[in-house]
């Protein structure tokens, strides 16, 4: 299945869609992943993955623009939310070269960036190893993708 938006809804108690991400969820703050919740997953969903990507980052990596801040996978189909600083699932390697969440922190003077928090609904549970990069995660998940949607937040470095 191609990567296309579904009717699934993703939101955060920390920020509104297209609103500012609080500093506590950034590299300038406590660097905690924001709370996320979703509903209206496609029928047959048996697992989830979450990705946070900044397409405004002035880098070309993995064949496209942007910067990966978070890869989280192996989330069971019963999951409909993640608490702040989530410890569920298995973490992949972000573009800082570290495993886990690394919050927004655009280059100084680079202005406002947009951060896309994606939730991917999958037709089967996954059991992928920790530390995979975005390319491998997408290669493994794409054949099992039932639907996806995103929540966009913004951040400007102080």
Residues 6+ apart with CB under 8 A from 62: 68, 133, 134, 135
CA gap 139, 29 in Å, rounded? 33
Domain that holds residue 31: 9-65+76-156
Burial class of residue 154 (count of CB atoms within 10 Å of its CB; 0-12, 13-18, 19+): middle
Count of domains in the chain?
1
Helix (H) or strand (E) holding 67: strand 67-76
> Tens digits of per-residue pLDDT, 76-99?
999 999 999 999 999 999 999 999
Find tokens 């990069």 and name the residue: 133
Task: Give a yes or no: residue 3 inside a domain.
Answer: no
Task: Give a yes or no: residue 81 inside a domain.
Answer: yes
What is the separation of C-alpha 36 from the centre of its chain, rounded to a whole number of angstroms? 10
Give the pLDDT confidence score for residue 36 in this predicted structure. 98
Task: Give a yes or no: residue 55 inside a domain.
Answer: yes
Task: Give a yes or no: residue 96 inside a domain.
Answer: yes
Task: Give a yes or no: residue 4 inside a domain.
Answer: no
Mean pLDDT per block of 10 residues along the chain (158 residues) reads: 77 98 97 98 97 84 78 98 96 96 91 96 97 95 95 94
Give the pLDDT confidence score for residue 1 in this predicted structure. 39
Task: Give a yes or no: residue 124 inside a domain.
Answer: yes
CATH of the domain at 103: 3.90.280.10
3-class secondary structure, 62: coil
Q: What is the pTM of this model?
A: 0.93
Burial class of residue 95 (count of CB atoms within 10 Å of its CB; 0-12, 13-18, 19+): buried
Task: Give a yes or no: residue 132 inside a domain.
Answer: yes
Task: Give a yes or no: residue 88 inside a domain.
Answer: yes
């Amino acid at each position: 299945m191609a990567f296309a938006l579904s009717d699934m809804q993703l939101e955060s108690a920390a920020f509104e869609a297209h609103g500012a991400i609080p500093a506590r969820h950034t590299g300038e703050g406590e660097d905690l992943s924001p709370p996320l919740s979703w509903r209206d997953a496609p029928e047959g969903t048996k697992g989830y993955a979450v990705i946070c990507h900044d397409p405004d980052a002035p880098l070309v990596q993995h064949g496209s623009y942007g910067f990966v801040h978070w890869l989280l996978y192996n989330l069971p189909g019963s999951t409909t939310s993640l608490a702040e600083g989530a410890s569920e699932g298995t973490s992949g390697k972000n573009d800082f070269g570290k495993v886990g969440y690394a919050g927004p922190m655009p280059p100084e003077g680079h202005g406002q960036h947009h951060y896309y928090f994606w939730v991917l609904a999958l037709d089967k549970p996954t059991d992928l190893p920790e530390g995979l990069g975005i390319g491998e995660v997408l290669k493994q998940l794409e054949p099992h993708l039932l639907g996806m949607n995103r929540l966009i937040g913004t951040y400007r470095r102080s």
